[in-house]
Amino acid sequence: MLNFGFVNQKNFSLLTDLYELTMAQIYFDKGINDVAVFEFFVRDTENRNYFLNAGLEQVLYYISNIRFEKEEIEYLRTTGKFSDEFLKYLKDFKFTGNLYAMEEGEIFFPYEPVVVVEAPLIQAQILETFIINTMQISILIATKALRCYSVAKDKLLVEFGLRRAHGTDAGMKAARNSFIGGFAGTSNVLAGKEFNIPIFGTMAHSFIMAHNSEKEAFLNFAFKYKENTIFLVDTYDTIQGVKNAVEVAKYLNLKTFKGIRLDSGDIITLSKEARKILDENGYKDATIFVSGSMNEYKIKEFLDNNAPIDGFGVGTELVVSSDLPYLDCAYKLVEYAKKPKIKLSPQKITLPAKKQVYRIIKEGIIQKDIITLFDEKLEEANPLLKPFIINGELVEKNYPSLNQIKEKSLNNFKTLPEELKDIYKKYEFLPEISKSLKDIMEKLKKEVS
Amino acid sequence: MLNFGFVNQKNFSLLTDLYELTMAQIYFDKGINDVAVFEFFVRDTENRNYFLNAGLEQVLYYISNIRFEKEEIEYLRTTGKFSDEFLKYLKDFKFTGNLYAMEEGEIFFPYEPVVVVEAPLIQAQILETFIINTMQISILIATKALRCYSVAKDKLLVEFGLRRAHGTDAGMKAARNSFIGGFAGTSNVLAGKEFNIPIFGTMAHSFIMAHNSEKEAFLNFAFKYKENTIFLVDTYDTIQGVKNAVEVAKYLNLKTFKGIRLDSGDIITLSKEARKILDENGYKDATIFVSGSMNEYKIKEFLDNNAPIDGFGVGTELVVSSDLPYLDCAYKLVEYAKKPKIKLSPQKITLPAKKQVYRIIKEGIIQKDIITLFDEKLEEANPLLKPFIINGELVEKNYPSLNQIKEKSLNNFKTLPEELKDIYKKYEFLPEISKSLKDIMEKLKKEVS
């Protein structure tokens, strides 16, 4: 029998680290189950000046739907690590706490709480692994996508990375979160269906090679897809490929066609030559689409060199976030039974207490963020953490569409101070800490040491 | 309404790039559907001397079960890109071809075909994206795991990376394929259930912080888990943490306990001091387990410095394969209608024709691999590509267990030439090309140019 190992709504309660459940067993035994506050945040990193929040919808879905089903409970029983009473508790498990978070499409900075979970300790603890698993990859991709958008300006960006994503779910999250980050769509058909986002495609080298000639391949494709055709021109000789595309378009009497795709070679030179050939033959509306190891640096380089490129297919380096394949992020206990908590492990100090983040915007530009105690009020500033789940219930039944989230992302992008948009240079933009929060930190450090 | 975007057996037919389906539409229209041969292979890379094959079971599962269900067909219809006749063809789609592959747990080298699909062109084409999506991440993780195993020797290795894996499926594949690569198990409970592999866990810093003191936290945990307890000792002061663990174990009259976990600080010094404290207090069997940004380089450094470490929890860097987050891999058309095919795009030349790989082993050590035409026979050499699907049917109903695959991996690891096991230095070990294959390549290059 073959085994795939699908993750689904029925079994995702077990997609967690064992210690979440063994710790929960102890909390259950000892009645240690007062209200705890955990915060998900990201530490500073060398090659990102900002992050784009994404992935919250999947976190809310998980928290709203997590149940321990019979088969999963029976598996836990076989491990011999859990008491019957605790397994019965899991059978009835349901999240009853609160979740505050920044909206998807919000820009955020290091050390700011992005998701805040406030619930009886056992509940808040059990969610840890899944929340990090969801948020990290979503933020990585949304942020990388927004960096591409920041240099591509009005050019078309399409996510092409499904094959190089880390498995099936990563492929879905790549499509969803690059869309949020400013992409027009994806090549991933299932993402198109499930997330209702535009899908794009051209043709592969194998398509050319399966025909007797490039010209024949172009003819067959354009005969069916007409003006919607994008010809892949680099299988044998790129410039000849462009000429073949033009010849086929003329033969079929196409007034225009979608364009050509360059996937290798000296893109700046080739795109200029291709543009000339297309224009000279009356195909001024045919676009030039570029793919192959694309990233924000190449997009910028090509456009800075006036390469007449209309769109980019960005794959591998986007979907694995190749220059930053993981975030230094955490989900930390900051308060238990109303008492603020601090961790002092070397290089891993956390900000204690349930917190809020305020943003001060002047003339449309972010001036600074201030991390405060949750109940502090700041005049003339907007709180970024909003309630999404209160007492286990979703505050809003309707979640924003991905189009709405994307609009928010791109509007928020405009509020970034100009130097932070630099894709090469690191500018540290850290939130301020309010005086009340600082006082608590100092007090706790003294108590612990 | 919240949307997760799960991938499952019903919808995974659409987890593909749009162009696979639009090209298929043309092939269908034009009757271009002779037998094609596609090969999945990996190009050379700077920081790997060998690769460990993994992921085949999921590929076989996909190919055996891919169907286009009604809802998926209806979605395709809404795109306006497909004819009714073609959609009817998809409705009845079933793989009827052959698949040859190296077994999971086989060691392989750059440019060697690892999976060979031989089927009517439309079928073979449609599988492309999913095959790469599955194989790449599985190989990345299995290979990185085997590198850890190669330096950890007899130490316990546990996969701890679920939270930093790129989504849910990546978390499952991390657990499965690191097990194949020599790990003893995972912290991922669902992977334990679905793949029947051992699960491991200790306790988190939040567990300590939720108690009034570290000692109280240790006491509560050890009271329940007794000899199975691993104390996390670095929340406040590591050495004091070790002393607290010992004190609690004595208080509970534990003859021994599983051990302590170090997650930060100067591991070499701390592990030596900790070992001394444990030994002096009669806990010689208590082990020292280390975690926190582990990778093969750190494991080697610690052990080379005689750090008395018994096991490692390897997370983030393993599960995202941080020093090689993607493979330069491809699934290329090498033969169509019995004619070998070649692609000449710059830097992306492919080996044409349906091929076999032979391995010559002497005195238990790999001497060389030779890529030949599929039907060539080589004396005294073992063919690595074996039939897994013939005429759409699985050759073997029983797939090897993960334990069997791991055993194969570790036996194959012993056949590696010693210099290839170096984790720092690149040694190129490329397969030879047989004369018959070379002749065909030269002939094709002349024809195309």
Q: Cβ–Cβ of B58/A316 closer than 8 Å? A: no
Under 8 Å between Cβ of A171 and A191? yes
From the list A53, A285, A314, the residue with the least C-alpha distance to A186 is A314
Q: Which two tokens mark B429? A: 């070990």
pLDDT above 90: percentage of residues in chain B: 94
Q: How far is B386 from chain A (nearest CA, A)?
A: 17
From the list A285, A321, A315, A317, the residue with the least C-alpha distance to A158 is A315
CA atoms within a 13 Å half-sphere pointing along the CA-CB vector of A132: 27
Using CB atoms, pick whichever of A62, A176, A206 lies closest to residue B125. A206
CA A392, A134, A139 angle in degrees (round to 5)? 115
pLDDT digits (tens, 9 = 90+) for B46-64: 999 999 999 999 999 999 9
Q: How far is B377 from chain A (nearest CA, A)?
A: 28
- At A334, phi and psi to the nearest 5? -115, -10
Using CB atoms, pick whichever of A62, A167, A176 lies closest to residue B169. A167
Give CA–CA dist A233/A229, Å, rounded.
12
Q: Cβ–Cβ of B17/A162 closer than 8 Å? A: yes
Give CA–CA dist A412/A52, Å, rounded.
9
Q: How confident is the model at residue B345, as a pLDDT?
A: 61
Q: Cβ–Cβ of A6/B4 closer than 8 Å? A: no
Under 8 Å between Cβ of B105 and B412? yes
Under 8 Å between Cβ of A60 and B2? yes
Q: Which two tokens mark B421? A: 């096991």
Give the lowest-confidence range in A206-220, A337-351, B280-294, B367-381: A337-351
At B322, which helix (H) or strand (E)? none
Q: Cβ–Cβ of B23/A344 closer than 8 Å? A: no
Q: A219 to chain B: nearest residue by CA?
A: B26
From the list B286, B266, B265, the residue with the least C-alpha distance to B275 is B286
Q: Which amino acid is at A358?
A: Y
Say if residue A233 is exposed, middle or buried (CB neighbours under 10 Å; 0-12, 13-18, 19+).
buried
Under 8 Å between Cβ of A180 and A409? yes
Give CA–CA dist B20/A261, Å, rounded.
16
Under 8 Å between Cβ of A119 and A96? yes
For residues A21, A24, A30 and A31, what is the CA-based torsion angle, rounded to 10 degrees? Answer: -150
Q: Is A196 helix (H, G, I), strand (E, B) or coil?
A: coil
For residue B212, the 8-state DSSP code is S
**Cβ atoms within 10 A of the Cβ of B100, count?**
25
Q: How far is B124 from chain A (nearest CA, A)?
A: 11
pLDDT, average across residues B295-302:
98
CA distances from A435 to A265, A332, A373, A376, B82 (A): 57, 21, 9, 10, 63
Question: B361-390 in b/e burial notation, b at 16+ Cβ within 10 A?
Answer: eeeeebebbbbbbbebeeeebebbbeebbe
Give CA–CA dist B190/B173, Å, rounded.
11
CA atoms within a 13 Å half-sphere pointing along the CA-CB vector of A67: 8
Using CB atoms, pick whichever of A2, A61, A162 lies closest to residue B133. A162
Domains and CATH numbers, chain A: 12-115+327-448 (3.20.140.10), 141-319 (3.20.20.70)
pLDDT digits (tens, 9 = 90+) for B353-366: 999 999 999 999 99
Q: Cβ–Cβ of B336/A203 closer than 8 Å? A: no
C-alpha A44: how far from its chain's center? Answer: 17
C-alpha A280: how far from its chain's center? Answer: 42
Q: How confident is the model at residue B348, as a pLDDT?
A: 65
Q: Cβ–Cβ of B38/A221 closer than 8 Å? A: no
Whether B411 has a pLDDT exceeding 70, the answer reads: yes
Helices (H), A237-266: 238-251
Residues of A in contact with B158 (CB under 8 A): none
Q: Is A322 helix (H, G, I), strand (E, B) or coil?
A: coil
Spell out where A216-292 has E strands.
Answer: 230-232, 259-262, 287-290
CA atoms within a 13 Å half-sphere pointing along the CA-CB vector of A148: 32
User: Which parts of chain A sit beneath pLDDT 70?
Assistant: 344-349, 448-449
Q: Which amino acid is at B22?
A: T
From the list B100, B84, B78, the residue with the least C-alpha distance to B14 is B78
CA distances from B381 to A286, B377, B384, B387, B448 (A): 54, 9, 9, 17, 33
Under 8 Å between Cβ of A242 and A260? yes
Q: Cβ–Cβ of B19/A187 closer than 8 Å? A: yes
Q: Which two tokens mark A337? A: 């039974």
Q: How far is A91 from chain B (nearest CA, A)?
A: 16
At B321, which helix (H) or strand (E)? none
Q: Which two tokens mark B105? A: 């747990």
Q: A202 to chain B: nearest residue by CA?
A: B19
Under 8 Å between Cβ of B437 and B214? no
Q: Which two tokens mark A102? A: 């920044």
Q: Is B356 helix (H, G, I), strand (E, B) or coil?
A: strand
From the list A11, A58, A43, the residue with the least C-alpha distance to A329 is A43
Q: Cβ–Cβ of A221/B26 closer than 8 Å? A: yes
Q: How far is B205 from chain A (nearest CA, A)?
A: 8
**What is the radius of gyration, based on Cα positions, of chain A?**
26
Q: Which two tokens mark A210? A: 């399966």
From the list B289, B313, B305, the residue with the least C-alpha distance to B199 is B313
From the list B120, B33, B86, the residue with the least C-alpha distance to A225 is B86
Q: Cβ–Cβ of B129/A162 closer than 8 Å? A: yes
CA atoms within a 13 Å half-sphere pointing along the CA-CB vector of B373: 14
Q: Cβ–Cβ of B322/A322 closer than 8 Å? A: no
**What is the radius of gyration, based on Cα positions, of chain B?**
26
Q: Which amino acid is at B124?
A: A
- At B251, phi and psi to the nearest 5? -55, -40
**Those residues with Cβ within 8 angstroms of residue A172's Cβ, 6 or more apart along the chain or in another chain:** A188, A190, A191, A194, A195, B5, B7, B15, B167
Give CA–CA dist A264/A294, Å, rounded.
11
Helices (H), B181-266: 189-195, 205-209, 214-225, 238-251
- At A3, phi and psi to the nearest 5? -130, 130
DSSP state letters, B2-35: -------TTTGGG-SBHHHHHHHHHHHHHT---E
Give CA–CA dist B186/B298, Å, rounded.
19
Under 8 Å between Cβ of A186 and A171? no
Give CA–CA dist A313/A183, Å, rounded.
10
Q: How confident is the model at residue A447, as a pLDDT?
A: 82
Instruction: Find tokens 């499904």 and name the residue.
Output: A162
- At B287, phi and psi to the nearest 5? -95, 165
Q: Which two tokens mark B135? A: 């194989």
Helices (H), A329-448: 402-414, 435-448
Where is pLDDT greater, at B147 or A445? B147
Using CB atoms, pick whichever of A5, A76, A325 lies closest to residue B172. A5
Residues of B in contact with A343 (CB under 8 A): 205, 209, 235
pLDDT, average across residues B137-143:
98
Q: How confident is the model at residue B95, as a pLDDT?
A: 98
From the list A330, A333, A331, the residue with the least C-alpha distance to A121 is A333
Q: Cβ–Cβ of B121/A163 closer than 8 Å? A: no
Residues of B in contact with A38 (CB under 8 A): 206
Q: Cβ–Cβ of A344/B235 closer than 8 Å? A: yes
From the list B337, B338, B340, the residue with the least C-alpha distance to B444 is B340
- Taking each helix axis from N to C end, the angle separating A267-280 and A296-304, rounded to the nearest 10 degrees, works out to 50
Q: Which amino acid is at B249?
A: A
Give CA–CA dist A388/B321, Å, rounded.
34
pLDDT, chain B, mean: 96
Q: How far is A254 from chain B (nearest CA, A)?
A: 18
Confidence bin at B37 (pLDDT 50/70/90)? very high
